[in-house]
Chains A and B, each alone.
Chain A
Amino acid sequence: MAMPAHTERSPTDGGAGGPAQAGTARETDDAARAAALAQLARPYGLLFWVAVAAVIATLVRIAFFTPIEASQGPAQKIFYIHVPAAVTALYLAFALMAVASVLYLWLRDPKLDRVASTSAEVGLAFTTVVLVTGPLWAKPVWGTWWSGDARLTSTLFLWLIILGYLILRQAVDDRAQRARYSAVLAILAGLLIPFIHLSVYLFRTLHPRPIVLKPSAPSLPPEMLTTLLMSFASFALLFVALLLARYRLATIADEGLADGGAAARGA
């Protein structure tokens, strides 16, 4: 991947080279801008299309080549989307976001801030899938669209916090300040989720106990397990592809190259 020539700046100088630099600096600037614009034209590489194909293949398998569960009927098939989306959001996106945020406060590398913010964005998309498929599944099975259940509530509030996180980022202009604030919010959110879970768990819960990752053998029949694992893999692949694409866009936006470097030069 061709990275722009002048990749990072110190958080405090708030912008690029400035008018003092000229000549060769300007030329590398132009080369970097051309490379960045080329990337902007196709932010989704081969990996993205492979991931999309994998997700489509998974959906086809879920719909046509996976047996219908005896007690819940076709509604149970939502399971193969709902659970992998939740696992991807929680254990890939938000775990990465939390780790990148902690590391940012330590190392102050703008790349880490970009990793955190892009995983928040992609995680938000997966969490939205969880929150949409959840009620669709709950209605036929639990007999209710919504409940004050522990996992549901934690997921909803996680979703709301990520929205707040992205709004906060929009509301701060200074890049270093934005990175610091978002990192602090992300870390506190990581501390909060167990409390939400605990307080609502004490309240009531409807979600089933673990089905796959439990000490004894998984209780899913082999065909269903294959579909589930395929779904996990394709969702994880889609996550990585989207993350890379968003990261590339964030780099271009941060470097101010997408608009011909005007933003970065403060013009």
Chain B
Amino acid sequence: MTGPPGILAAAWTIARKDLTVELRTRAAFLSAAVFTVLAAAIFLYTWDPTAVAALDLAPGVLWVIFTFAGLLGLNRSFAAELADRAIDGLLIAPIRREAVFLGKAFANLIFVLGVQLVAIPTVVLFYNLPLGWGAIAAIAGIAVAASIGLVAVGTLFSAMTVNTRLAELLLPVLALPFFLPIVTAGAQATVLVIDGRPLTGALDWMRVLVAFDLVFVLACAVAYPFTIET
């Protein structure tokens, strides 16, 4: 290969590296998956099923779990690069810094979607949600749209917090306010889908999610190089 790779090729190389590490160890994914099931199970015992309908509760539970499980995975994205100052290798590579961010974010997206793949069926099972295939497809679409924004913001903040004294304690403090629109839109859209209402209402919330994704993927990719000393 001659010359430095383009931004997407470089991003893909970094994402593949992170995913390979995760595939070989599976440590982070397993703990995030177990956390998801545990959280869903604990939520099950915090309400009175004769007083509150499962349908009313399930979307909230799903989205709270989704948010916290997402944070679990995001923490280690840049923490893994601290060992032997591996991050320096990434930063002196002849690639654009936006590519480092996009690669990290893409690996995190795959990770979070994997956690979703555990979280959604678990909640559907525990709360006995009667879902048709159409509803499942709609929820999957909402989950993907929500994950993109969550991962963009979370990846940028984890790149910052990993270098602070508080590290993993600070990530939720910074990131959770940014997850509010995602969780609101995601949960409201899920309610409409589970209720079997016409999809136009859910589409309004989808628009909020997609707008959030566009703005924050772009803003975070542009902002990432600014967090590094030039």
Residue ranges of A at the interface with B (Cβ–Cβ < 8 Å) = 12, 105, 153, 157, 160-161, 163-164, 167-168, 171-173, 176-177, 180-181, 183-185, 187-189, 191-192, 195-196, 198-200, 202-203
Contact = CB atoms under 8 A, between A and B. Distances in A.
24 contacts: A153-B180, A160-B177, A161-B177, A164-B174, A168-B160, A168-B173, A168-B174, A172-B163, A172-B164, A176-B229, A180-B229, A184-B223, A187-B223, A188-B153, A188-B223, A191-B215, A192-B178, A195-B212, A196-B177, A199-B184, A202-B204, A202-B205, A202-B208, A203-B188
**Residue among B156, B161, B208, B226 with the most chain A CB within 10 A?**
B226
Given A164-B177, A199-B184, A172 B165 contact: yes
Interface residues of B, number: 31
Given A157-B180, A192-B177, A181 B188 contact: no
B227 A181 contact: yes
B216 interface: yes
A184 B160 contact: yes
B180 A196 contact: yes
Interface in B156-173: 156, 160-161, 163-166, 170, 173
A173 B173 contact: no
Contact of A199 (B165, B180, B223): B180
Contact of B165 (A164, A171, A198): A171
Contacts of A105: 226
B60 interface: no
B100 interface: no
B220 interface: yes
A167 B229 contact: no
A198 B185 CA distance: 10
Nearest to B218: A191
B157 to A, nearest CB: 8
B204 A164 contact: no
B106 to A, nearest CB: 20
A187 B65 CA distance: 28
Contact of B184 (A171, A173, A203): A203
Contacts of B188: 202-203
A171 B164 contact: yes
A250 B165 CA distance: 21
Given A105-B226, A180-B227, A200-B184, A168 B215 contact: no
Given A188-B178, A188-B219, A202-B205, A167 B185 contact: no
A184 B220 CA distance: 9
Given A164-B173, A198-B181, A198-B208, A188 B220 contact: yes
B114 to A, nearest CB: 26
Contacts of A187: 219, 223
B208 A157 contact: no
A177 B229 CA distance: 7
B228 to A, nearest CB: 8
B174 A171 contact: no
B205 to A, nearest CB: 7
A267 B58 CA distance: 57
A199 B229 CA distance: 35
A199 B160 contact: no
B185 A199 contact: yes
Contact of A180 (B153, B177, B211, B226): B226
Nearest 4 Cβ contacts at the A-B interface: A171-B164, A195-B181, A199-B181, A199-B184
